[in-house]
């Protein structure tokens, strides 16, 4: 029986299906892939390197980055050591980000590039791992470590696996309108249970190709994308970056997509932009085809001439499970997707946000605002 933690599950997949593709990511316009064995080796090296940097049981590794494979691998390496991965959206406005980072007070940060490194150092990080080297020559390298250096560090042996199923694997943070910091903790065992439930209910297997445009964005992504990936052992695909996600999804044709209401609204508008003018002959034909409940021949014709090309616009030609997490889609949108043959399934769980002490939050807010004012004045 495999222990109920993310790193244990990763090792299990590496042992049972070492050569199958675990992860695919696009870099410089080309898709690269890694097998489960290669992935677990890289996570093992990272765990060793993070341990040498001082990360240990109960520590938090802040992931100040857009979704990228390095963040996922580092989060599992941190969990290997019994630490917590805390993804933070780098697009948060400056003050909110400052408030969160001040609250987290984490010594360990994975930062995407120069901007995020600057933010991390400003808020007390003493060990910063960065992904993009651009602009980093301007910084003192004492506290900075390139991701690639961590992977290539010549480390002998494997660090003992410290993760326990009751450990917190991820912590998500948010700021309320009242400027209070809230946190939601996710234990390994709970995430994996929910992932297994999805895998069994939706009959997911190793052959699935999941698309991970926003892998840490919400609790739903952790529960219904990352956890099923590790339990079912399918392939997770990362786009080149957030702005190329639609083109990359189209290139790839995934079978599993996990999206929020905003994701599906954007996809709907992409499809609608391709539709002909409503009153025209072609427009009327398309409307007929999308609503068609005619003969089998008519349905077949509508599928090949209209539905399939439209599904291809958003990369849904091979979709098996389009998942919606978070707030519901409107009935019109659901109907629109159904007319294309895309049956969106909703999976969600009530969030369990815990407000951190108001005093702490207010004090931090005051400090952050004072810092902002000082920075502006200087």
Q: Does 273 bind other proteins (CB under 8 A)?
A: no
Residues 237-256, interacting with other proteins (CB under 8 A): 240-241, 243-244, 247
Shorter beta-carbon distance to other proteins: residue 244 or 317: 244
Query: Binding other proteins by CB under 8 A: which of 1, 28, 273, 278?
Result: 28
Residue closer to other proteins by CB (options 41, 246) is 246
How far is 245 from 214, CA to CA, in rounded Å?
10
To which residue do tokens 């639609």 refer? 246
| Nearer to other proteins among residue 145 and residue 245 (C-beta) | 245
| Residue 194 makes contact with other proteins by CB under 8 A | no
Report 221-240 residues binding other proteins (CB under 8 A).
240
How many binding residues for other proteins (CB under 8 A)?
Answer: 12
Pick the stretch among 28-36, 119-127, 220-228, 313-321 that binds other proteins (CB under 8 A).
Answer: 28-36
Q: Is 376 in the site for other proteins (CB under 8 A)?
A: no
The DSSP-derived string for 209-272 is EEE-SSTTSSHHHIIIIIHHHHHH--EEEE-SSGGGHHHHHHHH--SEEEE-HHHHHHHHHHHH
Could you give phi then psi for residue 287, rounded to 5 degrees?
-60, -45
Q: How far is the CB of 250 from other proteins (least distance, A)?
A: 11
Hey, which residues between 29 and 48 contact other proteins (CB under 8 A)? 29-30
User: What is the edge-to-edge ordering of all strands in the sheet holding 21-27?
Assistant: 30-35, 21-27, 235-238, 209-211, 256-259, 321-324, 345-346
Using an 8 Å Cβ cutoff, are 41 and 142 in contact?
Answer: no
Cα–Cα distance measured from residue 19 to residue 36, given in angstroms and rounded to the nearest whole number: 6
Q: Rule CB under 8 A: is residue 70 a binding residue for other proteins?
A: no
C-beta closer to other proteins: residue 241 or 372: 241
Both structure tokens of 96? 């909110």
- Judged by beta carbon, residue 243 or residue 351, the one nearer other proteins is 243
Q: Which is nearer to other proteins, 29 or 279 (CB)?
A: 29
Min CB(243)–other proteins separation in Å: 5
Give the nearer residue to other proteins in terms of CB position, either 95 or 246. Answer: 246
Q: Does 137 bind other proteins (CB under 8 A)?
A: yes
Stretch that binds other proteins, among 77-85, 118-126, 130-138, 218-226 (CB under 8 A): 130-138
CB of 139 to other proteins, least distance (A): 12
Which parts of the chain fold into alpha helices (H)?
6-16, 36-53, 69-80, 94-104, 114-122, 147-152, 188-201, 219-221, 227-232, 245-252, 261-272, 281-291, 296-302, 308-313, 331-339, 358-377
Give the shortest CB-105-to-other proteins separation in angstroms. 31
Q: What does the alpha-carbon distance between residue 257 and residue 311 come to, in Å, rounded to a whole number?
A: 13
- Contact positions vs other proteins (CB under 8 A): 28-30, 134-135, 137-138, 240-241, 243-244, 247
């Amino acid at each position: 029986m495999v222990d109920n933690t993310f790193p244990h599950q990763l090792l299990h997949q590496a042992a049972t299906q070492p050569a199958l593709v675990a992860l695919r990511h696009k870099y410089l316009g080309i898709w690269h892939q890694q097998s489960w064995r290669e992935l677990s080796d890289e996570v093992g090296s990272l765990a060793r390197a993070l341990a040498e940097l001082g990360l240990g049981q109960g520590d938090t590794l802040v992931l100040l980055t857009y979704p990228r494979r390095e963040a996922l691998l580092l989060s599992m390496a941190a969990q290997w050591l019994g630490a917590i991965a805390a993804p933070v959206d780098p697009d948060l406005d400056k003050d909110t980000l400052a408030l969160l980072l001040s609250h987290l007070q984490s010594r360990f940060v994975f930062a995407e590039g120069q901007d995020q490194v600057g933010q991390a150092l400003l808020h007390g990080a003493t060990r910063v791992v960065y992904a993009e080297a651009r602009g980093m020559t301007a910084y003192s390298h004492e506290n900075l470590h390139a991701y690639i250096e961590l992977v290539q560090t010549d480390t002998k042996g494997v660090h003992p696996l410290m993760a326990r199923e009751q450990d917190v694997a991820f912590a998500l943070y948010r700021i309320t309108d009242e400027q209070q910091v809230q946190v939601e903790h996710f234990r390994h065992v709970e995430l994996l249970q929910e992932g297994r439930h999805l895998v069994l209910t939706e009959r997911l297997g190793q052959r699935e190709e999941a698309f991970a445009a926003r892998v840490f964005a919400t609790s739903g992504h952790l529960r219904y994308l990352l956890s099923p990936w590790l339990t079912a052992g399918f392939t997770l695909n990362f786009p080149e970056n957030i702005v190329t996600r639609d083109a990359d999804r189209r290139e790839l044709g995934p079978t599993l997509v996990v999206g929020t209401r905003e994701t599906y609204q954007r996809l709907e508008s992409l499809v609608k932009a391709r539709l002909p003018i409503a009153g025209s002959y072609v427009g009327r034909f398309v409307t007929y085809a999308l609503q068609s409940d005619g003969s089998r021949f008519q349905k077949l014709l509508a599928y090949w001439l209209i539905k399939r090309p439209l599904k291809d616009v958003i990369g849904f030609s091979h979709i098996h499970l389009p998942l919606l997490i978070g707030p519901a889609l409107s009935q019109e949108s659901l109907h629109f997707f159904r007319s294309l043959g895309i049956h969106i399934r909703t999976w969600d769980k009530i969030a369990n946000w815990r407000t951190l002490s108001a005093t702490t939050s207010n004090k931090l807010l005051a400090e952050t605002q004072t810092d902002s004012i000082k920075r502006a004045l200087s």
